[in-house]
Structure 1
Amino acid sequence: MHPKNLSINNFTYHLPDEKIALHPLQQRDDSKLLIYKKGSLHQDVYKNIHEHLPQNSLLIFNNTKVIQARILFTKPTGGIIEIFCLEPYEAINDYASIMSKKEKVKWKCMIGGASKWKEGDLEKQFAIGNGQWAIKAKLIEKIADAYVVEFSWAPVELSFAEILEECGNIPLPPYIKRKPETEDKERYQTIYAEYKGSVAAPTAGLHFTDTIFSSLQTKNISAGFVTLHVGAGTFKPVKAAIMQEHEMHAEWIDVAIETIENLIANLSNTVVAVGTTSLRTLESLYWLGVKAFLHPSLQQLQITQWEVYDELSGNENITAQEALLALINWLQKNNLDKLFTQTQILIAPGYQFKIAKAIITNFHQPQSTLLLLVAAAVGDDWRKIYNYALENDFRFLSYGDGSLLFI
C-alpha cells in the first residue's frame, strides 16, 4: 500500500495520562530501555545500552540545541501575550548566522492571546547584570497557521540567541501540562547539544550521559553528529482521514562532508539513529544523494513529502555508497563543505530503509507521524512493543523511557 493511503486510525492506542512523564528522572541513564530485535522483547536500563549494540556500530546523534523560544509580553492593560518563535522568516544559509543576528530579526511564530493584540508593538524589559534591556515585538502579517513577527532590541550588542537566553522560556511540549521549572533548562537539552535552533528536544538523546559514551568505547562503538533543527510540527497531530491529506512538516538539516564520509566508511557496520530526527536526516541523505546521482547539475537539493515514494521510486538499485558519494561530489562541485537544506520526508509503513539499521527512540503519541515512523521500522510489531511498554510501567513521551529497535 502507498503510504498516502494509510489511515491514521490504524495507528492508535490508549495512552493514560498517568503514563506520560511530566518530569525527567534524577539520573538520565536510569531510564528504562526496551530492546526489540527479530520479534523478541526484553528490557534493561540505558546505562547498559552498550551491551545491546553490536561491536563497531556507528551511532548518529542530533546535536541541535533547544532555544528558549517562548517569550511572554505583558500589555499595559495587564493582559499576557505569549509569542512562540517557530523558525526564521527570511532567507537563510545556516542557522548560526540567524541566531547571531543583532538589532532585529523576523520569525514565523505562534501567538497565544493573538486576539488581544490588536495594534501597536509589544515590549518586554529585562536586566542583565547592572544593565537594562528591552525587546519589542511588531506584528507584520498573518500567514497560514502562524504569524510573522519582527523582533528588535536595544542596546543592540546582543545576538538574538542571547536575547532569547535572557528573556525566553524553554518550550516544553504541550502534553507536559506544567510550567517550565529551573531543571528544564538543563534537562530538556542533550549533554552534547551544540547548535541553537530547535524548539523541541531530540528526546532520544536526553538519556545519554558521559558514562554511556565511555561504555560505548569499550565495544569500539563510535559517535557521529548531524544537526536537524526540530520544529513544533513534530507535535502536529494528524487530523486527516488518510495520510495523503496531511502536510508533513519540513525541517532544516545541516550535515558536514566529513560526517557523510564517516557514514560511507561504516555502511558495513550497524548504523544506529539516535532519535527520529537523526533517522529522518540519515534517510534524507540517501535520497538527496540519489537526486545528485541522477541529476548532478541540480542547483538545489531538498526532499519533499512524497517524492521518495513517487518521483524517486524505482531507483532503489542505487546503493547507499553510490548515493552518498554522489552527494559528496555534488557538494564539492558547488564548493560546499556541508549540506544545509530542508527535508519534508515522511517515513511510514511501506518505506524501505537505506542507511539506518536500528533506531533508539522514546515512546510517541497515538496517531502521530512519529508512531508511523516506528511502524515503518518494526511493522505491525509496534503494537506488541507499545503494549509491552504500557504493561511494564514504561514512562511515555519526551521525558519518558525509550527503546532500541532493530530494523
Structure 2
Amino acid sequence: MQLSDFSFDLPDELIAQHPHQQRDGSRLMILDRGALSVSVGRFADLSQFFQAGDLLVVNDTRVIPARLLGHKESGGRIEVFLSRQVPLPGTVWQCLMRSSKTPRPGTRLFFDDNLRGVVLEGDQPPHRLIRFEFEGDFYQTLDRVGQVPLPPYIKRSPDEDDPERYQTVFGANPGAVAAPTAGLHFTRKTFDELQRIGVEIHALTLHVGLGTFLPVRVENVLEHRMHAEHFQVSHETAAAVNQARSEGRRIFALGTTTTRVLEYALDANGRLRAGEGASDLFIYPGFEFRMVDALITNFHLPQSTLLMLVSAFAGRDFVLNAYRQAVAEQFRFFSYGDCMLIL
C-alpha cells in the first residue's frame, strides 16, 4: 500500500478559506456503500438519512486558543503553538516555537502580565516543553491571551468570526488544538431534528492534536506511525453504545476522531470500554470496523491519514471517485468546507 495510492488532484481554489455564511448551509455528498451510489444534497437535510433508534456519537472536545505571541527575557519575539499537555508537575505543554534563536532550557517567556512560561529540559526538536505560570484558570487565561489555531491550509489570519465558527456548538471539554471539523456543520436545530425522530445522541472526548496536520512522510503507508491523542469515554456513553450494538441499531460516528475512539476503546468482546487513555490507532484499508456503521466527515487532504480512514470505511476506489466528482462539482474542501455522509 503506497502513499501515492491516496492521491487526487485538488485545485487550490476549492480549499475553503472561510466558513459558509450559515453553519448548516454546506452541501452534503452521500455515499451509499451498499448500492455504490453517490448523490448530492444539503447538510440541512441530514436528518432524512436517520431513523428512529439510530445512535449518533459526537466528539465534545473544545478547541483552545493555542497560538501565543510573546517575548523572551532578552526582548526577542517568540511565537508558541501549544501541541498537547504532558503529565508533569504544574501546567506543562509540549509546544512548537518560532523565534530568531531557539530558546535554551531555563529561558523565561512572557505573554502578558498573567501568563509567563519557562522552557524545560526534555523532548525532541522541533518540540519543546514549557511550564506555564499564571493565576486563576489556565483555559480562561488562554481565552484572553491566545489566538485561534487555524489550520495551515487556511492562508489568512484569524478574524472576528473564527473564535466562534472554528468551534462546534457542543464543544464542552477544552484541550484540542484543532477542531473535529465534521461537527462544525451542526446547529442546535440539527440536534433537535434528530432527537425529534428518535435518534439517541451521546458524546465522548478526543483532544485533537497537531498530528492531524502532519503529512505522511513514508511511501510505504504501513510504516507510518500515528501521534497519540488523549480520549475519554463516559460510562453513560459506553453503556448506550453497547446497548445499541447488542440490539442491532445503527451507530453513526460524527467525524474521524470519534471513529478512532469507537474502534480503539474496545474490549476483547468488541464492547466499548468506559475510561480514558491515549489512542494512536491508524486506520487504513483492510481495517475491520467493529462498531461504526455510518460516518459523517469532511473532505480531506490528499495522501492524509484521514483520507486513508475514509477509504478503509468505504473502499479506496469508491471514495476517490467520489472525491473526483466533488472536485468536478466544485465542492469546498477541508475544515471550513462541505460535508460527506457515508452509509
User: What's the TM-score once normalised by structure 2's chain length?
Assistant: 0.93
Tell me if structure 2 keeps the 8 A contact 1:199–1:230.
Answer: yes
Tell me if structure 2 keeps the 8 A contact 1:71–1:167.
Answer: yes
Partner residue, 1:357: 293
Q: Please report how far the alpha carbon of residue 19 of structure 1 lies from its aligned counterpart in structure 2 after TM superposition.
A: 0.5
Q: State the Cα deviation string for residues 309-340 of structure 1 (Å, max 9, x = none).
A: xxxxxxxxx4x3xx34xx4xxxxxxxxxx401
Match of 2:253, SS state, is: strand
Partner residue, 1:108: 94
Question: Are residues 1:26 and 2:21 paired?
Answer: yes
Question: What is the alpha-carbon distance in structure 1 between the residues aligned to residue 18 and residue 260 of structure 2?
Answer: 27
Give the one of 103, 120, 125 matched to 2:107. Answer: 120
Question: What is the alpha-carbon distance in structure 2 between the residues aligned to residue 399 and residue 170 of structure 1?
Answer: 14
Partner residue, 1:392: 329
Give the one of 266, 272, 281 matched to 1:345. Answer: 281
Match of 1:266, SS state, is: helix
Q: Please report how far the alpha carbon of residue 219 of structure 1 lies from its aligned counterpart in structure 2 after TM superposition.
A: 2.0
Report the number of matched residues: 336
Give the one of 157, 160, 169 matched to 1:179. Answer: 157
Q: Please report how far the alpha carbon of residue 75 of structure 1 lies from its aligned counterpart in structure 2 after TM superposition.
A: 4.7
Question: What is the alpha-carbon distance in structure 2 between the residues aligned to residue 262 and residue 165 of structure 1?
Answer: 34
Q: Please report how far the alpha carbon of residue 397 of structure 1 lies from its aligned counterpart in structure 2 after TM superposition.
A: 0.2
Question: What is the alpha-carbon distance in structure 1 between the residues aligned to residue 73 and residue 259 of structure 2?
Answer: 46
Distance change >3 Å, CA 164–CA 381, structure 1 → 2: same
Question: What is the alpha-carbon distance in structure 2 between the residues aligned to residue 27 and residue 257 of structure 1?
Answer: 35
Gaps of 5+ in 1: 1-5, 93-103, 126-132, 291-317, 328-337
Question: What is the alpha-carbon distance in structure 1 between the residues aligned to residue 40 and residue 137 of structure 2?
Answer: 45
1:44-63 to structure 2, matched below 5 A, reads: 44-63=41-60
Question: What is the alpha-carbon distance in structure 2 between the residues aligned to residue 394 and residue 78 of structure 1?
Answer: 46
Tell me if structure 2 keeps the 8 A contact 1:56–1:220.
Answer: yes
Q: Which moved more, 1:73-82 or 1:12-21?
A: 73-82
Question: What is the alpha-carbon distance in structure 1 between the residues aligned to residue 14 and residue 70 of structure 2?
Answer: 33
Runs of 4+ in structure 1 over 4 Å off: 75-79
Question: What is the alpha-carbon distance in structure 1 between the residues aligned to residue 262 and residue 47 of structure 2?
Answer: 21
Q: Please report how far the alpha carbon of residue 141 of structure 1 lies from its aligned counterpart in structure 2 after TM superposition.
A: 2.8
Match of 2:311, SS state, is: helix
Q: State the Cα deviation string for residues 61-93 of structure 1 (Å, max 9, x = none).
A: 00000011110013577643111111112259x
- RMSD (CA atoms): 1.7
Question: What is the alpha-carbon distance in structure 1 between the residues aligned to residue 233 and residue 129 of structure 2?
Answer: 28
Q: State the Cα deviation string for residues 126-181 of structure 1 (Å, max 9, x = none).
A: xxxxxxx332221113522411111113xx2x111111111111111111111111
Match of 1:143, SS state, is: coil
Question: What is the alpha-carbon distance in structure 2 between the residues aligned to residue 263 and residue 202 of structure 1?
Answer: 20
Tell me if structure 1 keeps the 8 A contact 2:83–2:93.
Answer: yes
